[in-house]
Amino acid sequence: MRRPDAISGRGAPENRTPTRFGLAVREADGDWLDAREGLDGEPPPLRTTVTVEKPKTIITRNTSRDIGFDRSINPYRGCEHGCIYCFARPTHAFHDLSPGLDFESKLFAKPDAAELLRKELAKPGYKVAPIAIGTNTDPYQPIEAKWEITRGIVEVLAETRHPLTITTKSDRVLRDIDLLGAMARDRLVAVALSVTSLMPEIHRTLEPRAPAPRKRLAAVKALREAGIPAYVGIAPIVPGITDHELEHIVEAAAEAGATGVFYIPVRLPYEVAPLFRAWLDEHYPDRADKVMHIIRSIRGGRDNDPNWFSRMKGTGPWAELLATRFRVACKKHGLDRQKLGLRTDLFIPPQGAQLRLL
């Protein structure tokens, strides 16, 4: 049975108020809900709204030991792609908003990002290392077509010859192929496109507003033809739902000419776990218990393992089997090569900042 607050075409089956910060929980009147459509008719479609955010800085630093970057930029908060498994959903709780439908419909944009980036790159003592874009929410989600905030960021990094990595689920990244191609010639950029499933019936519910997997693989091929390093991330792998596709996705990545492949088992931090369980109950009730059992088996008996290193690969027999399958598939298709290193010695401070070098 479909949940009363579920909306067709959206990822989250509910819009539960987060409780981590003591917010008042919103509860709908069940008796009234039974007669809602008879009294008011069909509810209006859920519209996406965008709120302008004015941060003072744009580069986020981290000290995590199990990821390959120490700084990132997120042009947007929230993501209209609506991927039910998105580990960034809990960040909306900081805005007193639900990590459910609010996360994918009440978005925040940072239109001053390029200007802020220029100022930060011009600071005395700035030390160059690759900046990662798309580590939290997708930099090429649908609103990027209008706002072009990611484009502005890439323009600044291209101008200053600063290394960059991009992670996205969207073929919209091809819009910026002119900038990325020039950066790739100097080994300044690498792009990763996430491909979670090749099956349309799974894709439609798992990540309802993200471009189709075939479009993402076509984008990988186009990036490679332009000389741009392009990886495929099988992220996340959902046990009992998508894990059987592992070898097929590796093969499809090789056919698209991908530079390499990586994977991450599904992570369910904070409010993502109950959202994911509600999604399972609605779309896969026949195997919901089995899926959660496997997830807990690779997460130390919990819904989520936040510990460094183990959070990215999981532990236990199921995780070990997954790693073996992945390694064999990559070797079979010639994708067991090392990661590409980006150059950091070509950086030119933004115009107007040269006086710092005198």
pTM above threshold 0.75: yes
Q: What is the CA radius of gyration of the chain?
A: 21
* 192 SS3 class: strand
Per-run averaged pLDDT (10 residues), the chain, 358 residues:
65 80 59 56 80 97 94 98 97 93 97 98 97 97 98 98 98 98 98 98 96 98 98 97 98 97 97 97 97 98 96 97 98 85 96 52
Bridge partners (DSSP) listed for residue 167: 192
pLDDT at 356: 45
* 250 SS3 class: helix
Tokens of 101: 């439908």
pLDDT at 24: 62
Instruction: Provide, for the chain, the percentages of residues in helix, strand and coil under a 3-state DSSP scheme, each rounded to the nearest 5.
Output: 40, 10, 50
Give the Cα separation of 190 and 163 in Å (integer).
9
Phi, psi dihedral angles at 276 (to 5 degrees): -65, -40
b/e code 242-275 from CB counts within 10 Å (16+ = b): bbebbeebbbbbbebebbbbbbbbbbbbbbbbeb
Give the Cα separation of 236 and 52 in Å (integer).
30
pLDDT at 229: 97
Tokens of 148: 């072009």
Tokens of 147: 């706002």
Strands in 76-77's sheet, in edge-to-edge order, are 49-52, 106-109, 76-77
